[in-house]
Amino acid sequence: MGRTIITDDGKFEWDEDKNAQNREKHGIDFNFAKRVFDDEEKIEEYDALHSTYNEERYRVVGMVDNNILFVVETEMDSGRIRIISARYADKIYQDKYFLMRG
């Protein structure tokens, strides 16, 4: 595990090595991805498949700069949101996002 980054506002954190891997694989930086939480119409779902006894994961789908993002996160004991991964949403999640918006 790499160095943990905590945002200036203290709301978010992530592993910088994981962020570098995510940028290479998906072209999304976690600092950009955190803005998905600013979308008042975002969709948040519990991810039962990838959650464990020690870590509950959530999927968040929302818009950032006219891009629909799919972000996986967990909430830490500290109250911070830890971003685990981020990518551009596939067509299924894009359609779901627009359907939920009405």
Using CA atoms, how far apart are residues 34 and 86, in angstroms rounded to an integer? 9
Using CA atoms, how far apart are residues 89 and 60, in angstroms rounded to an integer? 10
pLDDT tens, residue by residue, 33-73: 999 999 999 999 999 999 999 999 999 999 999 999 999 99
pLDDT tens, residue by residue, 64-81: 999 999 999 999 999 999
Q: Map out the domains of the chain with their CATH numbers.
A: 4-101 (3.10.450.530)
Distances in Å between the alpha carbon of 81 and those of 33, 52, 72, 90? 12, 17, 10, 23
Please say whether the beta carbons of 63 and 39 come within 8 A. yes
pTM for the model stands at 0.94
